Amino acid sequence: MSRLPVVSGVELIKYLKKKGFFPVRQKGSHVVLKSKDRRVTVHYITS
């Protein structure tokens, strides 16, 4: 079984934006993203 690639929070948010998610709000380093079909995800941004 192959390992998953290491991805930073910023890279993940860029990818999710391309897939139709948009940021709804941010509190500190936590970003809440939502899609048009109402899916919601919360991600932690690290340096």
Side chain identity at 43, as an amino acid letter?
H
Domain spans of the chain? Answer: 9-44
Q: Could you read off the pLDDT of 1-47 as tens digits, one per residue?
A: 789 999 898 899 999 999 999 999 999 999 999 999 999 999 888 76
Using a 10 angstrom Cβ sphere, with 0-12 exposed, 13-18 middle and 19 or more buried, the burial of residue 31 is buried
Tokens of 12: 């993940």
| Total residue count of the chain as it appears in this document | 47
The model's pTM: 0.77
Tokens of 15: 């990818």
Tokens of 22: 């948009």
